[in-house]
């Protein structure tokens, strides 16, 4: 996430100003992978069957990441065996005025052996961070809205293993962009954690921030009006499934996976069937310093300044290089379309941009990228651009229409083999292609 300016939004008067401590890394946990989930088998779309013309490394990666879908499988049998606490039974008031922070936290803390806190219909105000610290605890919404009244301290922090947030509407007062964990609306730390079918409106930083979590599922959420990223993974977040979410009107990237050299790398994440739109400052889907990521069947529509999908090593933010990324079967349109009389400029990034502005040392390069089967339309610059220290990229079977720049561009290459293969791409007649690309 980048520090950008934000705009003020307010839904309710501010109630409290207590500060919570900054959450740390994921709590130590046993090596568990949600046994009940995995026993249920894969869910959702058909099994990933990588095409035969994909490079061997890409076929292997697709097979490795496909089982991550099981992290979102139904777990009703698990929760049915655990206690259920209802808000009204604990005196938790949801009238939109009363500060319910202490009562909600006390109810969560009472579930020492796991269980569900059910919030019925109402608006529950909290003025500081709420923490799910015990294993297998969750908050389940039944027509409930949790409203954060303090812009500087609003997160719902999932720190225990196998914790879950489901079926809630989460609103917040926001004033200006923040960069701390406690200013995100939901933070994910534990192992086997799930954020399912929630609606998030407003966050001082990210809507959902996955911070060092493993074996996580972020599925079916709608995230809008954040001052930073919609869904952001960093600090070693790995083995994750991000699917069927909608992000709209985000101040920074819609969905991102980022690895800074100061922390652990983030990767082994399957990102599929999401919809990203109206990104004001940054990119639709951003893979920055990531490894082993599959971005598949997403729709990205409308970025004002930057790429629709970017795969990059960012020198200015001191990130890792990139290894093994697949960008396949996505629909990306309306990239770098600033509104009339906008006071900013575009970045010059392509609809799908792969770049590394670095000295071409292996650890800081972008290596092994597949761009296949994407539909790219109505971009202000190039369709696909490979820039700088980018190595071993395969570009096949894409449809590229309505670009103001080139369909496919290779710029200032520093690798011996930038384009490993470039074939079968449908581009408009007369559009120039690199010499390595076959026109079909």
Of 346 and 28, which is predicted with more confidence? 346
pLDDT at 316: 77
Q: Is residue 17 pLDDT above 80, yes or no?
A: no
Angstrom distances, CA of residue 94 to CA of 164, 173, 425: 21, 17, 55
Q: How far apart are CA 82 and CA 137, in angstroms?
A: 9
Mean pLDDT within 358-385: 91
Mean pLDDT within 259-286: 95
Paired tokens of 154: 């609003």
Mean pLDDT within 87-93: 96
pLDDT at 7: 30
pLDDT at 398: 97
Report the chain's terminal Cα–Cα distance, integer Å. Answer: 39
DSSP assignment of 266-300 equals -EEEEEES-EEEEESSS-SEEEES-EEEEEES-EE
Q: Is residue 154 pLDDT above 80, yes or no?
A: yes
pLDDT at 37: 34
pTM value? 0.89
Local confidence band at 369 (pLDDT 50, 70, 90 cut-offs): very high
Residues 6+ apart with CB under 8 A from 141: 118, 119, 166, 167, 168, 169, 198
Mean pLDDT within 381-397: 96
What phi and psi values does residue 277 have, to the nearest 5 degrees? -150, 155
Model confidence over 290-332: pLDDT tens digits? 999 999 999 999 998 999 999 999 887 888 889 999 999 999 9
Local confidence band at 35 (pLDDT 50, 70, 90 cut-offs): very low
Q: How far apart are CA 271 and CA 186, in angstroms?
A: 19
Of 278 and 317, which is predicted with more confidence? 278
Mean pLDDT check: name the lowest of 127-131, 312-316, 367-371: 312-316
Share of the chain above pLDDT 70, in %: 87
pLDDT at 432: 81
Let me know if 2 is exposed, middle or buried by CB neighbors in 10 A (0-12, 13-18, 19+): middle
pLDDT at 1: 52
Mean pLDDT within 25-34: 32
């Amino acid at each position: 996430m980048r520090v950008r300016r934000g705009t003020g939004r307010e839904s309710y008067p501010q109630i409290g100003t207590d500060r919570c401590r900054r959450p740390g890394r994921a709590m130590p946990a046993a090596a568990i992978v949600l046994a009940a989930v995995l026993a249920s088998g894969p869910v959702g779309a058909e099994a990933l069957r990588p095409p035969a013309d994909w490079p061997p490394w890409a076929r292997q990666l697709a097979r490795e990441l496909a089982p991550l879908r099981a992290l979102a499988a139904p777990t009703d049998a698990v929760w049915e065996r655990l206690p259920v606490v209802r808000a009204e039974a604990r005196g938790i008031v949801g009238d939109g005025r009363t500060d319910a922070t202490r009562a909600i936290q006390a109810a969560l803390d009472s579930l020492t052996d796991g269980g569900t806190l059910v919030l019925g219909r109402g608006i529950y105000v909290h003025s500081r961070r709420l923490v799910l610290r015990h294993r297998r605890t969750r908050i389940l919404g039944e027509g409930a809205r949790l409203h954060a009244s303090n812009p500087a301290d609003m997160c719902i922090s999932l720190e225990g293993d196998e914790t879950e947030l489901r079926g809630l509407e989460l609103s917040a007062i926001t004033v200006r962009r923040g960069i701390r964990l406690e200013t995100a609306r939901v933070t994910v730390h534990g192992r086997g954690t799930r954020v399912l079918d929630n609606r998030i409106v407003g966050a001082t930083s990210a809507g959902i921030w996955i911070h060092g979590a493993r074996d996580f599922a972020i599925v079916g959420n709608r995230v809008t009006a954040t001052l930073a990223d919609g869904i952001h993974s960093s600090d070693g977040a790995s083995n994750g499934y991000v699917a069927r979410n909608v992000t709209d009107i985000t101040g920074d990237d819609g969905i991102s996976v980022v690895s800074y050299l100061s922390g652990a790398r983030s990767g082994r994440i399957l990102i599929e069937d999401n919809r990203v739109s109206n990104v004001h400052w940054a990119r639709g889907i951003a893979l920055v310093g990531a490894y082993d990521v599959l971005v598949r069947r997403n729709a990205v529509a409308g970025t004002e300044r930057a790429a629709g999908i970017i795969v990059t090593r960012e020198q200015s933010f001191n990130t890792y290089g990139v290894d093994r990324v697949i960008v396949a079967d996505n629909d990306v349109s309306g990239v770098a379309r600033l509104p009339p009389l906008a006071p900013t400029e575009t970045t010059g990034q392509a609809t799908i941009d792969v770049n590394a502005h670095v000295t071409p040392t292996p650890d800081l390069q972008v290596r092994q990228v597949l761009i296949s089967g994407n539909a790219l339309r109505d971009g202000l610059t190039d369709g696909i651009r490979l820039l700088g220290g980018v190595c071993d990229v395969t570009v096949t079977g894409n449809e590229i229409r309505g670009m103001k720049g080139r369909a496919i561009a290779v710029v200032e290459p520093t690798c011996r083999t930038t384009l490993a293969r470039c074939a079968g791409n449908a581009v408009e007649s007369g559009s120039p292609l690199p010499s390595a690309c076959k026109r079909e």
